[in-house]
Structure 1
Amino acid sequence: MASVPDLRIRVLRDLPVRADGEFVLYWMIAFRRRRSNFSLQRAVEWARELRKPLVILEAVRTRYEWASDRLHRFIIEGMQDNAHDLGELRQSGVVYHPYVEPTHGAGAGLLEALAKRAAVVITDDFPCFFLPQMTKVAARKVPVRMETIDGNGILPMRAADKTFTMAFHFRRWLQKNLKPHLAEEAFPEEDPLARVKLPALKKLPAEITERWPAADFKQLLGARGLAQLPIDHSVTPTSEVGGAASAARVLERFLDSRLSRYGERNEPDANAASGLSPWLHFGHVSVHDIARRALARESWSHAKLSAKTDGKAGAWWGVSAACEGFLDELITWREIGFNFCSRNDNFDQDESLPTWVQKTLDKHAVDPRPNLYTLDQFESSTTHDLLWNAAQRQLVREGRIHNYMRMLWGKKILEWSTSPREALRIMIQLNNKYALDGRNPNSYSGIFWILGRYDRPWSPERPIFGNIRYMSSDNTARKLRVKNYLKQFGSDLPAASQKQMF
């Protein structure tokens, strides 16, 4: 039956498939989309094999750490897109049920109630935040076979049998092993619901829909909708819109106008980055779709892959330099984070850092700090450093930080905190509270790179940093174009007042 690669399928509950179940249940928790979704594809395969309807449950709870208007709105906008895309399929035997928990714990029992009626349960395999524990606990209550499907990256997480601690080594391994996963049959179907025709299930039982009614998007996305939910209302939504439709527009703009300039992505004033990470994090777009679209622009074929496996970036794919750089970020640097998180439960703890990092940080833990700031001072952008304050303001306002500025942002938090452990706590708190792409393996890679993960010892040995790579705002301002960046984020004053400052 399976067309989803075996490496992507993991059994969470090894019980028989129930032949008398009413439907196949797909619990959508990480890959919140219709297109290029291995989990949905697997659920459709089961539904066709068993000749059952398919029920797709997409829910959002209120009691998760950092729950806020910003994160909730982005998720709910994605659910609204899915309701539009999937609601038309009811006559084809597909029922989509979006549920937004109105109060803490109101959604408890929903999955279990649906699973009792299901023949088999499929869900998403995401190695970060509270999702691994949530699915583990849920599996104990599911009375049928339950599978979790890995659709995180081009490389299945279980394809590598070790944790990679350097991007160079991971890239060299990819150059030797990635090719089979680039074959068309290794990619997900672009639309697993195309031409699907399953036995009819007009609606869910009243005992489900009355207790756990479908989300009212007009109300939730209205002026006061989020205000009724028990979440953090101080972290307000950004101008970015969640969902697959918005993700498609962002991808198209990037491919049309910025991919050719991707080599300038480290310049804050260049606006050359992809900007796709929020939609990737919430599963509104697939890495397979992004790679497929980018490579199509280059008229790429497998014959263009280099035979070299030396771990060097820049000349393996056989495409333009800009596209080579983008694919290295999209696959090497993004997926090394999934490799680490999927193999190390302590991925967000300081003890997961390399031994040399722990030693050098311990050696310099009591070094005098030239400046010390509290979490509140960092959060409110009230340090002495104008460039650092600008990066923090961007995070608070836009839910992201320019990638190069994020490195400086973290290095200064290390320098201005009472200890490396406190610096790590502050970085995780600020990033996960405000960043749309936080709470993700890739964002943890960025935070821990600041502290030395995926890096090497640097000389000379410095106070506070020891042998960890050092960065300064002065050098950054000299090296990069930041004038417009500072104009945009250098003050909380209105734009007219900012023009007078610079």
Structure 2
Amino acid sequence: MQEVPSIRIRKTNDQPVNEKGEYVLYWMIAFRRTGWNFALQRAVEQARELNRPLLILEALRCDYPWASDRLHAFILQGMADNARRLASRPALYHPYVEPEKGAGKGLLLALAEPACLVVTDDFPAFFLPHMIKAAAGKLPVLLEAVDSNGLLPLRAAERDYPSAYAFRRFLQKELRGHLNELPGKDPLQGAGLPMLKQLPAAIARCWPAASPDLLAAKPEALAKLPLDHGVAVAPVTGGTLAARRQLTRFLDERLADYAEHRNEPEREVTSELSAHLHFGHLSVHEIFDRLSERENWSIGDLSPDAKGKREGWWGMSRPAEAFLDQLVTWRELGYNCCAFRTDYQHFASLPDWARQTLEEHESDPRPYLYTLEEFERSATHDPLWNAAQLQLVREGKMHNYLRMLWGKKILEWTRTPRAALEVMTELNNKYALDGRDPNSYSGIFWCLGRYDRPWGPERPIFGKIRYMSSENTARKFPLGRYLRRYTP
């Protein structure tokens, strides 16, 4: 197993490694998996070098924005997977779930004080960058943040890119050198680490491990937590095992039709892996490895220069290349934005032309105006929009093409573009399992012009922003079964 590339390791403070410490602490906050994980691999490397045990803390607070039964259950199912997996590995795993707001305060510091150093996940969005920065200023030992987000290391780029085309050109020049740098499938296998048998009694008493009922996300256990119980658990199972089953289903049953039919709401050919990727239950490296094996692909198959084209560079089949353009180009474009822009979730981050045209048409009359509550209840005049919103509320997901239409109509039916952004963000982050993610913000902001270009003719409300309508969507695709399934 190769060492973790230095470009993926970031020192977040100037504290030293305590070589007399009792263990190495891995603070698992984003890459919630036991394999294909550069951060876990780095923690194992440090533990082996220092000949110390490895302690893994996976904690779940209850006061993160949009905390709900839905999001908690998905994460807890992943924690249950990790507990089962790590029971037979040379590491002590501590799954902690806050029973009330603030109950987990002090846990990280208490575990870090006797540690040699702390390793954590370098995730560029949501509240995690602020949390890492705050922890770095308090911990008495070195805190390393390790990037296991995508095929391309975040720091391989030097700026954010304005379009998928520009980023794709950069990827095709830069990515080749990183495709042999895969994380270990199981970094703890054969690690030969000494074992830490248990936590100090005082810490275990103050911050006990989550109960089996809680890790199973049983309704009665969730009901005791201070969450939004109005957002019900989605009919999608979290965790690495479920993610791998879905990946197998996609590769075996859907990939062949992906390039041709992925935009059709009634054709179930999308991967449905975005929630598993968002919560770190599945790695893009593992997906790429499985796909490469299926395609009988090697790095030698890469084209010398595809000049930013969507097809032809990878040297794989058309369906595989179409999927990789979404998985790598579009997904990692969003991560690139969040890594370089602290304002990625604000209206001001839109390109100048998009802000200008939206502001010029801000006072245009709207044919319909809806409140956030009306949007949330699928109470618009448009049956297709209502169906897409109902799918989001019921299942925690929405078909990719309809998500674009969903956002465009919110822009058309709110008083201002800024108000539209607030509605999209609230509904998406509250209900979508893959919300609060860099790729999710890319989708929301694409509806307002990010990563796009000016379009003509100039229209009321939209100005030069790309226009979409339910009528055009109905002309493109059959929607009868979809509408029957999701009619409120």
Bin the TM-score by the shorter chain.
over 0.9
Report what 2:5 is aligned to. 5
Report what 1:126 is aligned to. 123
Report what 1:211 is aligned to. 206
Report what 2:242 is aligned to. 246
- Unpaired stretches in structure 1, ≥5 consecutive residues: 492-502
CA apart distance, 1:200: 2.4
Report what 1:470 is aligned to. 467
Report what 2:386 is aligned to. 389
Q: For 1:391, what is the secondary structure of its paired residue?
A: helix
Report what 1:223 is aligned to. 219
Mapped contact 1:367–1:463 kept (Cα < 8 A): yes
CA apart distance, 1:140: 1.2
Mapped contact 2:54–2:195 kept (Cα < 8 A): no
Q: For 1:464, what is the secondary structure of its paired residue?
A: coil
Mapped contact 2:347–2:421 kept (Cα < 8 A): yes
CA apart distance, 1:314: 1.3
- Give, as a single letter, the amino acid of the residue that structure 2 aligns with 1:254: F
CA apart distance, 1:21: 0.4
CA apart distance, 1:490: 1.9
Please point out which of 156, 181, 187 is paired with 2:182: 187
- Give, as a single letter, the amino acid of the residue that structure 1 aligns with 2:376: E
Q: What does 1:226-237 correspond to in 2, within 5 Å? A: 226-237=222-233
Report what 1:110 is aligned to. 107
In the alignment, the residues of structure 1 paired with residue 377 and residue 15 of structure 2 have an alpha-carbon distance, to the nearest angstrom, of 51
Summarize deviations over 1:337-364 as a string: whole Å, max 9, x none: 0000010000000000000001000100
- Give, as a single letter, the amino acid of the residue that structure 2 aligns with 1:189: G
Q: What does 1:431-450 correspond to in 2, within 5 Å? A: 431-450=428-447
In the alignment, the residues of structure 2 paired with residue 63 and residue 412 of structure 1 have an alpha-carbon distance, to the nearest angstrom, of 31
Please point out which of 135, 143, 148 is paired with 2:145: 148
Mapped contact 1:176–1:309 kept (Cα < 8 A): no
Q: For 2:358, what is the secondary structure of its paired residue?
A: helix
In the alignment, the residues of structure 1 paired with residue 232 and residue 249 of structure 2 have an alpha-carbon distance, to the nearest angstrom, of 25
Question: Mean Cα displacement is larger for which, 137-146 or 108-117?
Answer: 137-146
- Give, as a single letter, the amino acid of the residue that structure 2 aligns with 1:30: A
Mapped contact 2:429–2:435 kept (Cα < 8 A): yes
Aligned Cα root-mean-square deviation (Å): 1.0
Following TM superposition, where does structure 1 have runs of at least 4 consecutive aligned residues deviating by more than 6 angstroms?
A: none
Mapped contact 2:384–2:470 kept (Cα < 8 A): yes
1:95 aligns with 2:92: yes
CA apart distance, 1:217: 2.5
Mapped contact 1:110–1:208 kept (Cα < 8 A): yes
Q: Would you say how many aligned residue pairs link Structure 1 and Structure 2?
A: 486
CA apart distance, 1:481: 2.1
Report what 1:496 is aligned to. none
Q: What does 1:352-391 correspond to in 2, within 5 Å? A: 352-391=349-388
CA apart distance, 1:18: 0.4
Using the aligned pairs only, state the percent identity. 59
Q: For 1:85, what is the secondary structure of its paired residue?
A: helix
- Give, as a single letter, the amino acid of the residue that structure 1 aligns with 2:143: M
TM-score by length of 2: 0.98
CA apart distance, 1:10: 0.4
In the alignment, the residues of structure 2 paired with residue 136 and residue 267 of structure 1 have an alpha-carbon distance, to the nearest angstrom, of 42
Report what 1:289 is aligned to. 286
Q: For 1:108, what is the secondary structure of its paired residue?
A: coil
CA apart distance, 1:95: 0.3
Mapped contact 1:76–1:217 kept (Cα < 8 A): no
Report what 2:85 is aligned to. 85
Q: For 1:224, what is the secondary structure of its paired residue?
A: helix
Report what 1:274 is aligned to. 271
In the alignment, the residues of structure 2 paired with residue 356 and residue 219 of structure 1 have an alpha-carbon distance, to the nearest angstrom, of 49
Q: For 1:372, what is the secondary structure of its paired residue?
A: coil
Report what 1:177 is aligned to. 174
